Amino acid sequence: MRRIDLHTHSTASDGTFTPRELIKLARFYRLAGLALCDHDTVEGTDEFQKAGQEFDFLAISGVEISLEFLGITHLLGLNLGQTAGSLAVLSNLQKLRVDRNQKIFDKLRELEFELSWDRIAEISGGGQVGRPHFARAMVEKGYCHSPQEAFDRYLGKKGLAYVDKVRPRPAEAIRFLRQANFAPVIAHPVSINLASEKWPETLAEWKAAGLVGVEAYHPDHSPKATIFFRNLAKRFDLVVTAGSDFHGANKKVPLSWVKDHSPLGVSVLESLRAKLTSS
Ligand code: AMP
Ligand code: FE
Ligand code: FE
Ligand code: ZN
């Protein structure tokens, strides 16, 4: 059975492949389909859909939204073919991002790093700029040995140039995705800083808001974590999904990840669609 990957990034956010290149690569690996889930933007989805048609490949438009919650809480929104409504709220998130990038840039300047804004934009590949692009610019200038060091010292939550961003709360984001006909799926739940005994009540709350799936298969999940979230999804009648969270050269995981780590094929899309129509 061919596997499906419901979480990837392109140059529209912090991936290093264009949406079209992603489709070509997914086809090369003989995947069953691919979802494009760039951070807080759907700007890559037109090119992604066109490439899907060009190469006769199942291309699912999506988004990954950062939420105001414990630790790193990300929500995937997947458009499964229904007419997509407006995600106008994203343009607001993008404006906030532009302000945040300016603040990060200023803080780095105050720390006497001489970075060129044009170069950072160039590194981003023309899409929305995020911290990984700052990290690469810093490595390029010799200020850090690796992007990870740039995050640990400067860009990460405890870093000297960290700037928080304004994010929607989980229930709010789940609702606006549903209104726009995007299936809300909680991304890499292991990154959420929530004790295991708190998970049932939290998921119940998000399900009531309209959550339909849980990304139990993700490169950051240990086998134990995968089983934990699979069982939890089952208990709350939520759909289990798999994603590589592919970022190209910005992360080590290959796009072929789902082939070796996930049992899921296209039928997962039917399960997600059924949830959208039944709840
Ligand atoms: P941004 O969207 O600008 O907040 O950047 C988020 C991206 O930065 C994530 O998708 C990760 O790829 C990367 N990232 C965030 N925190 C870290 C960290 N502590 N170490 C390495 N990469 C990180
Ligand atoms: Fe990312
Ligand atoms: Fe994420
Ligand atoms: Zn992601």
Q: Is residue 78 part of a domain?
A: yes
Do 177 and 258 share a domain, yes or no?
A: yes
Give the domain CATH number at 237. 3.20.20.140
**Residue 211 lies in domain:** 4-87+170-278
What is the residue-averaged pLDDT of the chain?
A: 95
Q: Is residue 163 part of a domain?
A: no
In the three-class reduction of DSSP (H, G, I as helix; E, B as strand; rest coil), residue 127 is classed as coil
pLDDT for the residue numbered 86: 76
Q: How sure is the predictor about 36, in pLDDT bands with cuts at 50, 70 and 90?
A: very high
Q: How sure is the predictor about 127, in pLDDT bands with cuts at 50, 70 and 90?
A: confident
Do 238 and 148 share a domain, yes or no?
A: no
92 pLDDT more than 90: no
Among the residue ranges 49-58, 87-96, 145-154, 228-237, the one predicted with the least confidence is 87-96
Of the chain, the percentage scoring pLDDT greater than 70 comes to 100
The tens digit of pLDDT for each residue in 142-169 reads 999 999 999 999 999 999 999 998 899 9
CB of 245 sitting under 6 A from ligand 1: no
CB of 39 sitting under 6 A from ligand 1: yes
The rounded Å distance from CA 38 to ligand 2 centre is 8
Kindly state the helix (H) or strand (E) to which residue 60 belongs, with its residue range: strand 59-66
Residue whose C-alpha is closest to residue 135's, from 113, 166, 168: 113
Residue 116's contacts (CB-CB under 8 Å, 6 or more residues apart) are 137
Do 273 and 187 share a domain, yes or no?
A: yes
The tens digit of pLDDT for each residue in 187-243 reads 999 999 999 999 999 999 999 999 999 999 999 999 999 999 999 999 999 999 999
Q: Is residue 162 part of a domain?
A: no
Q: Which residues surround ligand 3, an ion (CB under 5 A)?
A: 74, 187
CB of 14 sitting under 6 A from ligand 1: yes
Q: Is residue 102 part of a domain?
A: yes
Q: Is residue 160 part of a domain?
A: no
Domain end point (choices 131, 155, 179): 155
Q: Is residue 182 part of a domain?
A: yes
| Closest atom, ligand 1, to C-alpha of 131 | 3
Do 137 and 83 share a domain, yes or no?
A: no
The rounded Å distance from CA 244 to ligand 4 centre is 8
Q: What is the pTM of this model?
A: 0.89
Task: Report whether 145 contacts 131 (CB < 8 A).
Answer: no
Domain end point (choices 155, 186, 206): 155
Do 201 and 78 share a domain, yes or no?
A: yes
Do 245 and 209 share a domain, yes or no?
A: yes
Give the domain CATH number at 113. 1.10.150.650
Q: Whose CA is nearest to atom 23 of ligand 1?
A: 151
CB of 127 sitting under 6 A from ligand 1: no
Do 212 and 99 share a domain, yes or no?
A: no
Do 189 and 75 share a domain, yes or no?
A: yes
Other Cβ atoms less than 10 A from the Cβ of 171: the count is: 15
Do 41 and 131 share a domain, yes or no?
A: no
How far is Cα 74 from Cα 112, in angstroms, rounded to an integer? 32
The tens digit of pLDDT for each residue in 241-251 reads 999 999 998 88
Q: How many domains are contained in the chain? A: 2
8 pLDDT more than 90: yes
pLDDT for the residue numbered 84: 75
Q: Is residue 267 part of a domain?
A: yes
Q: How sure is the predictor about 62, in pLDDT bands with cuts at 50, 70 and 90?
A: very high
pLDDT for the residue numbered 93: 84
85 pLDDT more than 80: no
Do 177 and 244 share a domain, yes or no?
A: yes
Do 119 and 24 share a domain, yes or no?
A: no
How far is Cα 74 from Cα 188, in angstroms, rounded to an integer? 7
Domain end point (choices 155, 187, 205): 155
Of the chain, the percentage scoring pLDDT greater than 90 comes to 87
Q: Whose CA is nearest to atom 16 of ligand 1?
A: 156
Residue whose C-alpha is closest to residue 38's, from 74, 69, 72, 89: 74
Q: Whose CA is nearest to atom 5 of ligand 1?
A: 131
pLDDT for the residue numbered 165: 84
Q: Is residue 67 part of a domain?
A: yes
Do 200 and 77 share a domain, yes or no?
A: yes
